[in-house]
Structures are given as structure tokens and as C-alpha cells.
Structure 1
Amino acid sequence: MLGMSKSIYRRLLVSFLATVLVGLGITGIVLSFFTKEYIYNAKEEELLRMAKKVNTAIHNSNEVNKRLLDKLAMLDESFDTRIWLFDTKGKIVATSMKDEMFTGKSVAVSIADNVLKGKSAVTELQIEGLDDPMLSVSVPWGEGENVYGGIILHAPIEGIEKTFGQMRESILWATLFGVLLSTIMVSYLSWSISRPLRTIERTAAEIGRGNYAERVQVDTSDEISDLAQTINTMAQKLEKVEQERHHLEQVRNDFLANVSHELRTPLTAIQGFLEALQDGLVEEEEARQKYYAVMYTETMQVNRLVDDLMDLMKLENNEVNLVKFPVDVADVMNRVAFSFHQEAEEKGLHMGVEVEDELPRIYADKDRIAQILKNLVKNALKFTSAGEIRMRASLDGEYVQIQVIDTGMGIAADDLDRIWERFFKVDRGRSKNNKGTGLGLAIVKELVELHDGKCRVESSPGKGSTFTIWLPRIKPEN
């Protein structure tokens, strides 16, 4: 992550500095070029205007005398510029300065020719004895056909170049300031980007190590925040998947352990009885018949376990197709009660059915509803040794409520939430003689939910249990 941070910093710094340098460089060059052109042109135009005014003042004077020199000196002070006069041969004959060091010097032939032809000239003069170049303008001296020579007004280029130097220095300082500001901005920007990225990297590493409870804490509101939110969502889903995986693993282990336990008990009994019969240890026919009866009972227990497992697997895999028709709940309840009547009498229990008058029908699979009630009654019979078992049906809003009430041993509060789990058996130590697969209530729950219904259990130890299911009623036609 540190390397990436350095890379981000380096890229941002280079790009910012390049932008600043190129931008300021181009701006400086363009500004210098146009400014220089503007200053030069303005100075040239100013010098031309002043040169024409000088000519207007002296166009009637064709001889160099004290009066002309005084006039030139006065104009020099007024215009603050140097004035030279040259004759038709290009010789400087008068200057506005008191010293005459340039008198007698010659100007360029091309300038003299143009001026004598009545044209103005603008140039950088190089005069003997003058080290620095001068920006000069030349106009004819005289009027009309009477041209006595030329008038030169000039200003040192040094001042203009000094202005340009100051401008270039200002641009350089602006560039240095831009570089410094860019470095500060890049440092802050790099830190603001790399800090949340390092947080994301550490969190992602924790998630990669299997710590799915980790979350990215980012206090920004940009694309990095969106990335952090995406990682948090992914971590949440991974955490949920991991929890489901652990749960499924635990369910699988419990399933294998429970199936092994449920199969081992009857198979061990069958194996023991078969060995006794094979070894001839049971000689009496009556005893052998008892052994056969026990083996048959244990075989039926294994068969019921397999049937219940197949039913539960089909329900959980959505492989059970309901054949729904209008079902009379009272009829199903009476049939179920009749099928368990003899077993209830043998245990000294009263089996009762209570149905509310004009109870509406339900739209359901009749055989599956009967299976639900049989599982609930069978469960009640196993854990009820005295008292009664009642089935009761009544209307409850949009549902038909069916209850199976017993006066059995009851269920502890800690077990109520687990009563619908596969292979869960209440009070295993006290119910060893009660044969069962531990799948009946799990099948009940799946079948009820398949009918878009719901189920609940209420119980207290020693006071019996009440299993309640709600199944949607058939709505009356308007």
C-alpha cells in the first residue's frame, strides 16, 4: 500500500507540476510576446507623433544656428526624448543635447534614402560611439518639395528591455509559487486519497483472513466512500454466507449424528435378536415369535424413519406438489381422531374433537392436512400418560385455527424454540420408551408453510402442550 501511495503521490506531483510549468510557461511566452509588441508599437507611434510635431516646429528652418538648437533643446525637454537632425547626405548636423559628440556621424544609407523620399522609418539604430541600441523613428525635415534632411527621435531600448526583464522575473516568481502551491496541494490530495485507501487495504486484508465482521470506516463522500460501502456490503454478505455455511455444516453434522443414532438403536436390536435365533439360543416357539415381533417393530421404526426423511427432503427441496381442493376441516379431524381412538383407549386417554359451527372450508391438500394432524396427535400420544387429547377448530379472521391440546408432560421454555428442528426430542431421558424419529414436527412446519399457513406451540412442564396451526380459509364469494 505504501508503494501505491508513493506512486499516487508521484503521479499527482508530476502531473500538477507539469500543468503549472507548461501553463505558466505558455502564458509567460504569449504575454511577453504580445506585451513587447504592444509596448514597441505604442512607443513607435508616440515617437512618430512627436517627430512630426518637431518637424512642424522647425520645418521653416533649414540652417543649423543657435535658434534652431535652442528650439531642439526645448522640444527635448518637452518630449523627454533625444532629437537628431541629419542633412541630405546622412550626416548628423544637430542634436538636442548640449554635447556635440554625435555631430558629424552618419546614419544608415537606407534610412536616409527612405526619409529623403518622404517616408517615415522605424528601426533600431546602431550609431558609432553609441554602445546600446536605440529605438528610433525618422521623418523628413522640411515641407513638401523642400526636404532639408531628416529628423530622428529615439529612445533607449534598455528601458523597454528592463520592463521585459521585470516581467520575466515576475513570471518566474509566479512559477515558483505555483510549484510550491502544487506541491502542497498534491501532498494534501495524496494524503486524502491514500489514507482511506490504506484503511480499505487493512480492512480487505482482515476480510481476506476470514474476519468478516470488519468494516471500512471512511468519512468522505466521494468515489472512495462508494468503494468502501461496496466492500462493507461484500463483507456483510460474506459474513452471512459464512454464518450460513457454519449453520449448514452444523446441521449436516447433527443430521448425520441423529440419523446414525436413530438407525443404530433398531439395527442393534435386530442384530442381537437375529444372532440369538441363528445360534439356537431361543428354542421355544413362543419366545421366537416374541423375537420376531420385536424385530418387525424395529424394522417398521427404520421404515418410518426413512419415509419421514424422504418426506422432509422433498419438502425442503420444493419437490412436493400439493393437490388442493376445498377441504372440510371437521371431516379430516374426525377421521384422524378415529384412527387413533384405539391407541388412546389403551393408554386410558380421552380423544375429543371440537369444531365451531359453520366453520368455512380451507383450500388445501386433504392428505397433507391429515398428515399434519396425525403427526401432532401422534406426538401428543407419546408424551401424554393421563388425561385427554383434544382437537379444536375455529375461525380466526382470514384463517381457520386448528389446535391439538394435550395434558402431557409439557415442554420446557428453553426447548420451545427448538421444537420444530429435525431430530429434536424433548426430554430424551424420560421418553426412551416413546419411539419416534424426531422428524414429525419438522414435517408439520414445512407442510403448514407450504399451505401459506403458520404454526405455534405453547407449553409448560407438567401442564401439557397446545400446538396451534393457522391455515387460510376460503373467502366467501360476494
Structure 2
Amino acid sequence: MIRARVRPIDALRRRWFGSLQLRVISTTLVLTVTVVVLAGTLLINRVRDGLVGTRVATVVSEASTGIRSAQQLADSSDLVQPPGGGQLIDQIARDLAARAGNPPVYGIVLLAAPGNSGSAPERSTGNIDEASIPDDLRNSVQQQQGLAWTFTTIRYTDGSSAPGIAVGAPLTVPSVGTYELYYLFPTTGEKSSLDLVRGSIAFAGVLLIGLLLLAVYAVTRFVLSPVRTAADVAERLAAGDLEERMRVRGEDELARLATAFNSMATNIRQQIRQLEALSKVQRRFVADVSHELRTPLTTIRMAADVIAENLEGLDPTTRRAAELLGEQLDRFEALLGELIEISRFDSGQAVLDAEPVDLLLVLDRVLETTAPLAAAKGSAVSLSVPDMACTAEMDAMRVERIVRNLVVNALEHGEGQPVEVAVGCDTEAVAVSVRDHGVGLRPGESSLVFNRFWRSDPSRARTVGGTGLGLSISLEDARLHGGWLEAWGMPARGAVFRLTLPRIVGSDLHSSPLPLEPVSGVGAS
């Protein structure tokens, strides 16, 4: 369940970071919505404050005029009020109701002030329920003895309600007592106006956001389309299609980008073709020279063999010269053979003759043939093998050549120290590692050792007749199997070379059964 929740998030993250257009549009959307919401809120608040302020000023002024008129009517009336009578109250209510117009723009509520006799009549107009008057407003009217107002919900006797403003003031009625006169002005018109403004702003905001997103989409698509085209063309160029080019339109910055890109692609194609031509010439030269040298080399070898058969009749100086000639001919033949092998790799003509072979058998043959060299160098060769057979599909001749090169290399650079050979295998791969305790490798040299004719110390002479191509050929042999040939080393700590081959030729390698880097200078880890 956790993975199921994480995968959509990862997909969304990859989509976010993989699309510049998505990031631009999303950022524009967020910023636009923020600006529209803030501006709309500010505008609505300003409109609301203006409408409410104007409405409050109007109703307070109108209520103040009506309250003064009612007080004048009460003071000037010559009606004699019997105890509990309501003629004057009714007259005041009718007069104020008449001022409200038809339909009425406000309602009136006349409530007896606290302390009045219980028989004091109370009146209301417009079917307004007395519960519409908030207690806080009544307290203000009773305590301040002046005009007061507040927002309220106007409740009607039929159960309906509407937002409104209540304005109240005390009213003294002779022979009856003190009353509280309240004007209730509905604000449904202002609410409708505010709702209209709010809806208009929301519609305009949504329309603005939509139009802006369309504009941003069109602009980013127009701008990024050449960039996408350049990326696609670059990918096809990287895949080897060197004839791909961008279409140039106009003379603007994008056109200059396309022109520069096409010029770059043309230059790269020319350089690649030049390098390919030089490489072909080089491979052909090496192959031709190697083959052309075989005939004179064979003749020289025959002459050297004849001389070698008659060494006893030669003087010491001539005998030594004949021996040196034979040694150098052996080295030259080895170099020529390896040059021919390199030319096969370069031309793609190397063929793998793979069959199931036990790596331990190959290693036994290598150690047997290199035993005289180990004795001459004074290096003890130790072998560590697993309890199981390490069988894999391999070209036995090529693998034997790889392992022999590794062992000979360790003996040559081991300075007489022990050489440790280890074999390992698992269900996917087999491996052999060779470690010496000699001069080692400096940082960065672990990848250089496989270069052709490379030597860590050019002034150091090869003592076993090496050609400088052994490790390079070994690397190509390992790659031909689909395997790895790796090196590790540190100055004064020696070096480790590890060969890893898949049990089945062509299968992918994910790890090696043997470690590459040693631990604390003891063994390999």
C-alpha cells in the first residue's frame, strides 16, 4: 500500500521536473490565482464598505428625521390619553408608516421602555417581529438616551427573515410614558448588489485566469517547441543519425539557435567521419603491417634457428649475439601476434568460441606455466578456491590468456612479495582475482592500466618480455564474454586485478562473487 501511494508521487515529481512548460504554467497559475484572490477580496471589501457606509449614513439620517418628527407629533398632540389608551401611539405609528412609502422601505417598532405601566401599548409595522431588536441595541437606547444603531436580522411574523439595520432612540409620549422607537431598514438591495459584484469579480477572475493560462500555454509552446525539437534532434544525433537537423524559420533568436545547432551538428559529423576514417586507416595500417611482417619474420626466424643449432662452433661473442637475437625474435613474434589480435578487435572480427569450462582447470594450467617465473622472482603464489565447481560458458583459450596476463603482471610488479590468487562463484557469475604486494598503483591509474602500451613508470624496463598490450587484450577478451576486468591499487600496498564472467554468455552482470578492494592490507574484501 505504501508503494502504491509513493509511485504516483514519484511519477508526479518526475513529470514536474521533466517539463519546463508544466512548471511555467503551474507557477503562473498559482501567482495569478493569488493576485486575483487578493485583488478581488480587496475590491469586494472596498465595495462592501462603500455600500454599507452609504446605507448606514442614509438610514441613520432618515431615522433621525423620523424620530424627531415623532417626538414633535407626541409633544404637540392635543389628544387626551385615557389610562392605557393608544390613540396617540397609533397616530405616531401611522404617520411613520406613511413616511415609509409603498412598498415600505423600513419598518417601525414601538416598545414600552422599562418602568412603563404594563398597560402601555406597543406597536409595529410591516409585519416585523419584535424579536428583531437585539438586546444590545435596546440596552444602548435605554442607557445612552440617544440615537443608536446596529446590524441585525429582521424577522417577520410569517417566519421569513432578511438582513438589515436597526436604528433606535427613546421617545417620550405625554400621559403614556417613555417608549423606544426603532427603525428597521432591510439591506437586501445592498446584499444583492454585493453578491452581483462578488459574482462579477469571480467570473472576471476565472476568465482572466483562463485567458492568461491559454496565453502562457501558447507562449511557452511557441518558445519551447524549438527547444524540444533541438532535444529530439540531439537524441537522434546521439543515437548515430548524423544527418538530423533542425528546421530554421525566420531570423529571430530561435532561428539563430537552430542555425547554431545545425552548424554544431555538421561540425560534429565531419569530425566523427574524420575520426572514423583515421581509425580505419590506423586499423588497416596495423593489420597490413602485421601481416606484411610475417614473411620476413619467418625468414629471419629460420635463419636464427639455423644459427641456434650451431652455437657450439661459435665464439662467445657471436654465441651471445645469437642468443639475444633469438630472445628478441620471440618478443617480436609475440608483439606481432598481439597486434594482429588487436586489429581483430578493432575491426569487430574477434569471435568467441564458448563452451562450459571449469575456471579452476584454467587456473591450474596458468599456475603450472607461470611456476618457473614465480620461482625466478622469488614470489610465493597462494590459491584460494571455493568448495564448489565454478563452471561457466567461456572461451577457454581467451580466459587462460587473461588469467596468465594477470598472474605474470603480478609477478613482474610484486617485487618478490607473495601473490594471492582467489576464485569465487555464485549463481550468476564466476570470478578470479590476483593480488600482489608490490609498488601498487597511484590514484587514477586503475583505469589507465588497460590502455595500450601504458606503463606507470616509463623508465622501468620490462623484465619478462611483455609487449604492453597484454592487459588491453585481456580487457577486450573480458568484454567479448560480457564480463568485467577491473583494477584497484595504492602506492606501496600493491594492486588487485579482478576478472568477473557471467555463467551464461550474454547475460547481465550485477555484482561479482569476489570483492575488489582489500581490507587493512590483508586479503581481499
TM-score, normalised via structure 2 length: 0.40
Structure 1-normalised TM-score? 0.44
The structure with higher relative contact order (CA 8 Å, sep 6+) is: 1
